Amino acid sequence: MTVRSPVALTIAGSDSGGGAGIVADLKTFEAHGVWGTCAIAAVTAQNTEGVQGFDTVNPDLVRAQVASVASDIGVDAAKTGMLASAELVSVVADAVAAAGIEKLVVDTVFVSKHGDTLLADDAVGALRERLLPLATVVTPNLPEAARLVGFAIDDKAAMERAGKALADLGPQVVLVKGGHLVADDSPDCLVVAGSAPVWLEAARIPGRHTHGTGCVLSAAICAELARGMEPADACVAAKHFTERAIGAGLELGRGVGPVNPGWERMA
């Protein structure tokens, strides 16, 4: 008897180098036994040394991709990544709502691992006002969280304040990632709306091959939501998965190599 697979949808940009974006998301979905689908919102020329260029996809085509998948295959959970412009953020918010997608992970992609800007300044407000209220989980790093809440975040107390402020915007769960802290560890602050913050402590993993870390983390959360896991538990499971992916980082190219969501096949 044929059994339906859980289905996850990524709405994001491509990475020609294979380390981040939609490519990393689909690899992560597959590693979790989830059928991956996609709506491409941008196309990048990218490798381990940086982003050499990108172009956005026509918003009407992005909307059509989401509707096409949702109306036929169905979507158990979705995630967003690089959306680039305020118009794309708004179109994706409308498409997610129209498709009735109830589980949404918002990965607030502002810049690449190499510092390349991937979100226009005028899109930050649209992200805050249109997409975060629809989110089941939002996963900002410290610079992204600071842009969204309007104050500097350089310690754990500020991370807690930011998590609470972002939760007030509508997401069910906020995971403020602490990888940018200047410290020997890499703690994440998990805020479930209406509850006290919980700290997910972890040692900082040595190594420079970390391209795609945020994409893999948010895709792993999305995959676990598609499989029926509760949002806070999905964040914990995804953090453990991503730690293993970082530890199995691949030495490819001349720059920052990718983390490896297929680490389990190498174990």
pLDDT digits (tens, 9 = 90+) for 228-266: 999 999 999 999 999 999 999 999 999 999 999 999 876
Least confident of 77-81, 170-174, 221-225, 260-264: 260-264
177 assigned to active site: yes
CA-CA distance, 230 to 264, in Å (whole number)?
A: 23
Residue of 13, 24, 16 whose CA lies nearest to 222: 24
210 assigned to active site: yes
214 assigned to active site: yes
pTM over cut 0.75: yes
What's the CATH number for 7-262?
3.40.1190.20
pLDDT digits (tens, 9 = 90+) for 133-161: 999 999 999 999 999 999 999 899 999 99
Chain centroid to CA 254: 25
136 assigned to active site: no
CA-CA distance, 43 to 201, in Å (whole number)?
A: 35
pLDDT digits (tens, 9 = 90+) for 170-215: 999 999 998 777 677 778 999 998 889 999 987 777 777 889 999 9
Q: Largest Cα–Cα distance of the chain, in whole Å?
A: 55
Catalytic residue from among 13, 18, 178, 214: 214
Count how many residues are written for the chain. 267
Query: In the β-sheet with 104-106, what is the strand arrangement from edge to edge?
Result: 50-56, 35-47, 7-13, 77-80, 104-106, 137-138, 173-176, 188-192, 198-200
164 assigned to active site: no
